[in-house]
Chains A and B, each alone.
Chain A
């Protein structure tokens, strides 16, 4: 099982000090967080993609390429790459290039994006979001798998005799997760292709997450990729920890109360009960995270949101240290002990390459 962190990349005022980091500070902080994730023994760092303030990561492969050069093991991913408003040709090129630079430590999570004006800014129409996601991804897959592509569709100019360069590393395209919170069509898309499905459950009740993942698993089997329990599932999580749970609550509450997404709404206590947010001791985080398995079945990737709501970098780095020292080692052991033998690991470049070679040999 893979553990990691994902970041939105928001520039948010620290409500306890009134201080707002500059874009430069925030970008450097995201890099520091990724490096800390590797140091703490985590597996994955995933960055969001946004094209409007107060978010800084408009150019994920530039940032991930820089992080790739400064890390050895970390898998670099996205949360999410906008399959609707990016040109699929550019996605094919950018991520293949990143894959070479990072020696295969790359996968990506596709999403539609939920910021209305981004669509017209990039010449698209949000009402066609699902159609864009379907057509663009179908083209992206072909660009990575076919050396020469002739293609005609609705949303971009046709291609005749086009070859996306560089070709994917070792001829193996990056593994793709499809991220969705509410759209069954995206669960279906992931199932149809036998790709991964990431449910960003952090602001949602467990019941909803269960239904979406069940749908994906059932359709994965329907499309002939394997048994439902062999489908590749990722989940989000949101935690804040101190040794003493009362200290964690006291320190996190002002960030919670003023957070951009859910602040000035439900109480910390209600939100903790109704969503995966866990504020408390490392042991509480371990126990809560293990319950996710009961909700969706054995799954492959767990990403935590650690750096939001204006938390200062120092606190975020401390949190990642706690995650690496006290939480993830226990979770690895506990999840492994509960996992049946037929549940696969999340695909890595090495695993996909081995599978491709095996298939070629048959």
Chain B
């Protein structure tokens, strides 16, 4: 089967941001499972998918440094560029004190407010107990709404117990939720109109300036 690229003639880009701190981390595990689900949807439909995982743990000091100095050290700049240039984003955080982790929020504090406008995003979180599952709705969804991203309907919350149980009478199991969320993200990524490759930043500035008038 031949591979379909986007209209721009390049592979579809998927970036998963994981704010897990331990190694191995269940947050990273969830990010990987979600990315596989997206691949599983897009691959058979002929899309070539280029994916990358951004591990915030490796960027923790760089993130703190940008908060202090105002500019990103090179590895952080590369991660931000990858994320803002992606066709779809998976954002996974552990739950700390009833919300996303501080590291996760600090990372998203560093991007321009318009950088994710219209971007399909899948939100996910991990925690020790299922009692925090609404963190997806009261913390992550509003954050990405502020960033004007398009958040897919299914958010995936994985409590420790989810890794060892199947679906029950009243709820779907983790694999089913992962598949559904991955499918929703894949559908939005596939439907996304191709954007022109970002050119010289100067020409973007010039476009921005074209309506400025001085007298």
Contact = CB atoms under 8 A, between A and B. Distances in A.
Nearest to B202: A215
Contacts of A281: none
Interface in A271-320: 271, 274
Contact of A188 (B68, B69, B73, B212): B212
B82 to A, nearest CB: 17
Interface residues of B, number: 18
Contacts of B206: 215, 218-219
Contacts of A219: 206, 209
B195 interface: no
The A interface, classified by DSSP as helix, strand, loop or mixed, is helix
Among B201, B202, B214: residue with most chain A CB under 10 A: B214
Contacts of B108: none
A128 interface: no
Interface residues of A, number: 26
Nearest to A135: B215
A318 B32 CA distance: 57
A274 B214 contact: no
B209 A265 contact: no
Nearest to A266: B65
Contacts of A214: 202
B214 A208 contact: no
B73 A266 contact: yes
A211 interface: yes
Interface in A187-205: 188-189, 192-193, 203-205
Interface string A99-124: 00000000000000000000000000
Contacts of A263: 68
Contacts of A261: 69
B214 A138 contact: yes
A24 interface: no
A208 B209 CA distance: 18
A185 interface: yes
Contacts of B212: 185, 188
Nearest to B208: A184
Given A184-B208, A184-B209, A188-B209, A262 B68 contact: yes
B199 to A, nearest CB: 13
A134 B70 contact: no
A270 interface: yes
B67 to A, nearest CB: 8
B64 interface: yes
B39 to A, nearest CB: 34
B71 interface: yes
A338 interface: no
A264 interface: yes
B71 A265 contact: no
B208 A189 contact: no
Contact of B68 (A138, A184, A211, A264): A264
B70 A203 contact: yes
B205 interface: yes
Contacts of A204: 70-71
A274 B209 contact: no
A233 B202 CA distance: 17
A270 B209 contact: no
B202 A274 contact: no
B71 A208 contact: yes
Given A138-B214, A189-B214, A265-B64, A184 B205 contact: yes
A150 to B, nearest CB: 15
19 contacts: A138-B215, A188-B209, A189-B214, A204-B70, A205-B71, A208-B71, A211-B202, A215-B202, A215-B206, A218-B206, A261-B69, A262-B68, A265-B64, A265-B68, A265-B69, A266-B68, A266-B73, A270-B65, A270-B73
Interface of B: 64-65, 67-71, 73-74, 201-202, 205-206, 208-209, 212, 214-215
Given A265-B64, A266-B73, 19 more contacts: A184-B205, A184-B209, A185-B209, A192-B214, A193-B214, A205-B71, A211-B205, A215-B205, A215-B206, A218-B202, A218-B206, A262-B69, A263-B68, A265-B65, A265-B67, A266-B65, A266-B68, A271-B69, A274-B73
